[in-house]
A and B are shown apart, each in its own frame.
Chain A
Amino acid sequence: MRDTPLSNCERDFIRKAITENLRLDGRVPYDYRKIRVTFGIDRGSCQVELGQTRVFAQVSCEVTVPKPTRPSDGILFLNVELSPMACPSFEQGRLSEFGVEMSRLLERCIKESRCLDTESLCIVAGEKVWTIRLDLHALNHDGNLLDCASIAAVSALAHFRRPDVTVAGDEVKIHPLEERDPVPLSVHHMPICVSFAFFDQGKYLLVDPTDKEEKVMDGKMVIGMNKHREICTLQITGEILLLKDQVLRCSNIAVVKVTEITELIHKALEHDRQVRASGGKFGFAESFMPEKLTVNHMETEDVDPGEAQARILQELQESDDTDEEQSHITHYISCFVVVKAPGVGTLGEGGRSTWEVDEETQAELKTEQTATKKSSQQPEGRAETILVDSGDSEEEVTVVMEQIDLEKVGKLASRNGTATLKPGKSSTKAAKKKKKKKKPPVV
């Protein structure tokens, strides 16, 4: 079934945000989403989560006859499965054009780079070799399936153990798992694919595009690289023409990313090895965080509120307040969330709605700002605490918190409750969307 297409508003919004170095999920253009590598109980099964994108890899082995052209080499067989579970537009069975491209890129990256030593898979030259079969299943598609799949493939290959074999003359004995410990595959290096999305004829680039960004992008470049700075595969698709220095710049970014990701894979492998050695519980069930349906679990981020808080306190100390009001205001500052009922609270003040910013209100805004006391501005002018003297307010000093402060404070407050919120982003988005509705250029 076809995916619902993106509306024109959404496309324009994403493109405009990218020109201002903003992404929908708040990342900087060169950031990856959170990567989680978990291993299962079976050797060679690995699941990788790249944000919401999930790929499951399973490695298995079998003794077969080698290819006649290469009698002393084992065989690595790669299979990519894209099921409707990952995305409604994938068809079961038949691999779409996207699936064929992904499969081919992974083959080039993993097979043709010879990361797996196939000669070590030979048992009897010309007669028996190991066939290593790597199955990749896409569980969820939220953009950048290829990177996720390459990480899963490489991790699974490094995690897998094949049965030990002894060759005594004509006799070949494959030891069962109880007799002898299985032997790891000889993986020379870990080639990882890094995807770049290009917008506006190559002017803007994003690393690790999400699903929506992929639908809007002009073209894509994939660099398959290992941490030794060796490029295993390079492909550019789409409607873009890139300059040489852009390609070089991307490869430099890829080096950094691949090093980080390889570190992560090694850490996960090491953790799994330790848990298995110490006799603890391992596998997918242990590595999943308890997620109950009734608990709203979201990723929390560390935020430093010190600067904003210090500035607010400084503002208040500068103004002339009586002791009573000052203590009231510091009390207000210290508990930013106003609790209305058990489990329900509000944050910030209901302020002026930001729907309409035409010339008149912009002029009004400007005169208001010059008339009231202003704090020192940060270089970008983003975080600004403005003291507004509104006549009908009951408090002597009304501190209007800027949107960025809301965001930071919201995450501060989430320490207590399990609900985390991202108000700043939604209100920026809302403000931007309202802005977008005005068609003729305003100033």
Chain B
Amino acid sequence: MRGEIESNMAVDIRLAGTRETTKRAVPDEIANLVTPGDVITSDTGFMRGHGTYMEDDKLHTSVAGVVERVNKLICVKPVKTRYNGEVGDVVIGRIIEVGQRRWKVETHSKLDSILMLSSVNLPGGELRRRSEEDEKMMRHYLKEGDLISAEVQSVFSDGALSLHTRSLKYGKLGQGTLLQVSPSLVKRRKTHFHHLPCGASMILGNNGYIWLCPTVSEETGTETGGYDQDLQPVTKGDRQTVARLRNCILAQAAHGMMLFDTGILYTYEASLKYPVKDIMKPEVMTEIIEITNHRQEVEGS
């Protein structure tokens, strides 16, 4: 039902001619950038890895990215790509299909990932063999459209991922915001679950999906095995924090910065003097990213 809401926030208009392009600070050591069709080497002694092809006894790249060489293996890591899964990655995905003893999960990779029924915790935390009843109850656990966080258990021969949610930190995600950035911006680290001091939690999925939600207290979830969704109303302050974080992460992604929890926190703190929606303006983005870079250099050394 419609309430009587006044939406009278100031609206900013900008002519296209005055639009500023984001000028990124480009570090000068990237020497191995290649574009599709470039010749990497004429030496035939190398093994061809991903992103390369052989033509006329010369090794060419098929994607735009950075050339990496490990002993005799040459491969090209593309800048913009679909997610290529490795065992042990944390991913966030959306259930698109409920099948026989498995769920199909969309993780922005080339093929849909699979979540087997035997790879999830049963609600109630029991440990038993999956029966016919469990198959029929699959839709009660996870149905189409649900978001989950999971870990890659193995990779099938065709490249599809097999996921598992066998730990209590994985499972169905509740109220929050999902962001999509390029998978190349999220590096593999020890932990992908971060609780930020500003009151929000963040899951940096290796597949480029980032989940932001207000920090929930940890007592729930142990008995329910990760299926309980907290649907209590979220307060305004929490929502503003999450929105501000979202804009900061998008600002970092627009500047091609790798996403780390420390960097995101610096950007968040630098953005506190602006209202949330102003962070999306190009000049504000450039400014807070510069402050973040500066701070990272100072505190990194």
Contact = CB atoms under 8 A, between A and B. Distances in A.
Interface stretch (B5-13, B32-40, B258-266, B286-294): B5-13
Contacts of B94: 5, 7
Given A1-B82, A417-B13, 19 more contacts: A4-B108, A343-B18, A344-B14, A344-B15, A349-B10, A352-B8, A353-B9, A357-B5, A358-B233, A401-B8, A402-B8, A403-B6, A421-B11, A421-B13, A423-B11, A427-B11, A428-B7, A439-B175, A439-B231
A306 interface: no
Interface string B248-275: 0000000000000000000000000000
Interface in A216-269: none
A347 interface: yes
A424 B6 CA distance: 11
A346 B105 CA distance: 44
Contact of A419 (B6, B10, B16, B82): B16
B102 interface: no
A413 B236 contact: no
A17 to B, nearest CB: 11
A363 to B, nearest CB: 12
B108 A418 contact: no
B17 interface: yes
A428 B112 CA distance: 35
A346 B13 contact: yes
A351 B10 CA distance: 7
Interface in A1-41: 1-2, 4-5, 7-8, 11, 20
B145 A343 contact: no
Contacts of A443: 1, 3
Contacts of A419: 13-16
Given A344-B14, A344-B18, A431 B5 contact: yes
Given A343-B17, A355-B239, A443-B3, A350 B106 contact: no
B57 interface: no
Contacts of B13: 337, 344-347, 410, 413, 417, 419, 421
B145 A354 contact: no
A5 B108 contact: no
Contacts of B198: none
Contacts of A381: 4
Interface residues of A, number: 61
Interface in A372-429: 381, 386, 400-403, 406, 410, 413, 417-419, 421, 423-424, 427-428
Sort chain B's interface into a size bin: 35 or more
B110 A1 contact: yes
A89 B57 CA distance: 35
Contacts of B145: 5, 7-8, 11
B178 interface: yes
Interface of B is mostly: loop
A406 B236 contact: no
A296 interface: yes
Nearest to A11: B145
Contacts of B175: 437, 439
17 contacts: A1-B82, A7-B147, A343-B15, A348-B11, A349-B8, A351-B10, A352-B8, A358-B233, A362-B3, A381-B4, A410-B11, A421-B11, A427-B9, A431-B7, A434-B239, A435-B3, A439-B231
Interface of B: 1-18, 82, 94, 96, 106, 108, 110, 112, 145-147, 175, 178, 180, 231-236, 239-240
Interface of A: 1-2, 4-5, 7-8, 11, 20, 294-296, 337, 341-358, 362, 365-366, 369, 381, 386, 400-403, 406, 410, 413, 417-419, 421, 423-424, 427-428, 430-431, 434-435, 437-440, 442-443
Contacts of A348: 8-11
A345 B12 contact: yes
A355 B236 contact: yes
B11 A351 contact: no
B16 A406 contact: no
B293 to A, nearest CB: 26
Contacts of A434: 239
A435 B3 CA distance: 10
A433 B146 CA distance: 18
A340 to B, nearest CB: 9
A400 B15 contact: no
A439 B15 contact: no
A53 B205 CA distance: 34
A365 B4 CA distance: 8
B16 A400 contact: no
A346 B6 contact: no
Given A1-B110, A354-B5, A403-B7, A7 B178 contact: yes
Q: Can you list the 3 inter-chain pairs with the closest CB atoms, starting with the nearest?
A: A343-B18, A351-B8, A423-B11
A443 B2 CA distance: 10
Nearest to A416: B15
Contacts of B110: 1
Contacts of B240: 355
A346 B9 CA distance: 10
Nearest to A428: B7
B4 A406 contact: no
Contacts of B82: 1
A97 to B, nearest CB: 16
A7 B179 CA distance: 12
Contacts of A424: 7
